[in-house]
Structure 1
């Protein structure tokens, strides 16, 4: 499949639907190749404007999807329309189901111990114990990263899901991609483990379609999220307007 790429706001996004993304990943695993996947939302795009390491980690990934509806809207404003939003959590849910159908194993890295163990328990209960190659919480020092990557590589997992905040997860996957080469699919999934475990509630579908998922999250944790969304979303809108007007820094 020839993949169209759309480039704007200092990143490149693959113009794919959810179905097309799943097909590419499924084929790569069947062919024993590796796909380093990443999703971008408004906040991440704002961050990578100044964070060169994050920008390198994101733009050197094999597959980049638009996680946020705001990114899809921005693509239309900038005359590079994307087909649809491919939310990281939805992709993960679909891939875990695919893993069960194909007899693949998954590794879960990130979140608190009680959360990641709960996610492993939920998936084991739903799909059988054989689906879990291993799991580990997301609290470790940078010097521990190579040994953790080696543990994952030796686990026999075909898929790795990393639920750690940005830019740590992107840089972890990019910096240790050579160690993780035996894992066919690697991706960061942010706070998805909290949602799967029932710690955080996800916005209703109608809010997701309207691009208001961020607002639903803000309502759940206003003290922690107000700065991220108020300032981050404002910066994103400004970036889009500047690019639309042809402004060059």
Structure 2
């Protein structure tokens, strides 16, 4: 009787100068749960997990601090379909997944799969009303999920005293996974900051809180699968998202092309 060899780890490939772990949604769920369940977690620094789309990488192309923290992150996942397509085009010699790791799906997948092992979750972001709706929806869908804390931080930079109090609340909750829904790039900076201070897994999931709670409409699956979620969101919130699309998408294409050129020398 032969024993099956373990599956090879997902490839890590550069996109616009940022290392992206090209994994499937199922692999991403397993990776977050594995990080959360690490028996040595108490003696380790935290793990920051970033969901990268075209806008995230466009911002990183112009912001050296953001670029640096993404390069040093524990895990960067391809949240945008454009990121998946760019990686498959540039790294044609690699067998990369054709499906993105969508933030809301990762959030729901980890909540669901973590019920059996009692993973402890902390929610950070959104308005108090949205957080209450989110917690109610989580309780309805996943009655075994343990949400041990939730807070809506102010829409400004925290003072040192507020940061210390936040750390104390997260530590007291004994959370294993902290979900951040603070918007890009604030959530990425906060994930990196907290990962350096707390032995927990921090996942920056963008608008997942709003979509799961029902606070904002979500693009239909056919638009998501064809890379048109940006169009749906732009039509839903044109004043807030116009720059993300009109500036972010071209900048991402340029950054991805530059990265490909640097890699190949052409």
Is the shorter-chain TM-score for this pair beyond 0.5, marking a shared fold?
A: yes
Residue 202 of structure 1 corresponds to which residue in structure 2? 218
SS in structure 1 at match of 2:173: coil
1:2 matched to 2:2? The reply is no
Give CA-to-partner distance per residue, 1:65-95, whole Å, 9 cap, x none.
1000000111123225631311111101101
SS in structure 2 at match of 1:180: coil
Q: Matched residues in 1 for 2:256 and 2:55: separation?
A: 13
Residue 212 of structure 1 deviates from its aligned partner by 0.3
- Per the normalisation by structure 2, the TM-score is 0.84
Q: Matched residues in 2 for 1:31 and 1:171: separation?
A: 24
Residue 174 of structure 1 corresponds to which residue in structure 2? 192
Work out which structure has the larger RCO, using CA pairs closer than 8 Å and 6 or more positions apart in sequence: 2
Q: Which residue, out of 40, 49, 55, partners 1:43?
A: 55
Residue 244 of structure 1 deviates from its aligned partner by 4.1
Q: Matched residues in 2 for 1:85 and 1:133: separation?
A: 29
Q: Are the aligned partners of 2:149 and 2:173 in contact in 1 as well (CA < 8 Å)? A: yes
Q: Matched residues in 2 for 1:18 and 1:216: separation?
A: 22
Residue 125 of structure 1 corresponds to which residue in structure 2? 140
- Segments of structure 2 that go 5 or more residues without pairing to the other structure are 1-7
Q: Matched residues in 1 for 2:141 and 2:255: separation?
A: 43
Give CA-to-partner distance per residue, 1:204-225, whole Å, 9 cap, x none.
1111110000101011112222
Aligned-residue Cα RMSD (Å) equals: 2.1
- Per the normalisation by structure 1, the TM-score is 0.90
Give CA-to-partner distance per residue, 1:13-32, whole Å, 9 cap, x none.
11211122222222333333
SS in structure 1 at match of 2:30: helix
Residue 176 of structure 2 corresponds to which residue in structure 1? 158
1:220 matched to 2:227? The reply is no
Q: Matched residues in 2 for 1:11 and 1:169: separation?
A: 17
Q: Matched residues in 2 for 1:225 and 1:168: separation?
A: 16
Count of residues in correspondence between the two structures:
246
Q: Are the aligned partners of 1:163 and 1:188 in contact in 2 as well (CA < 8 Å)? A: yes
Q: Matched residues in 1 for 2:202 and 2:238: separation?
A: 31
Tell me which stretches of 4 or more aligned residues in structure 1 moved more than 6 Å: none
Relative distance call for 1:113 and 1:78 in structure 2 (3 A) is: same
Residue 21 of structure 2 corresponds to which residue in structure 1? 14
Q: Matched residues in 1 for 2:189 and 2:104: separation?
A: 19
Q: Matched residues in 1 for 2:141 and 2:9: separation?
A: 35
Residue 28 of structure 1 corresponds to which residue in structure 2? 35
Relative distance call for 1:6 and 1:209 in structure 2 (3 A) is: same
Relative distance call for 1:99 and 1:237 in structure 2 (3 A) is: same
1:192 matched to 2:208? The reply is yes
Q: Matched residues in 2 for 1:46 and 1:116: separation?
A: 29
Q: Are the aligned partners of 1:138 and 1:163 in contact in 2 as well (CA < 8 Å)? A: no
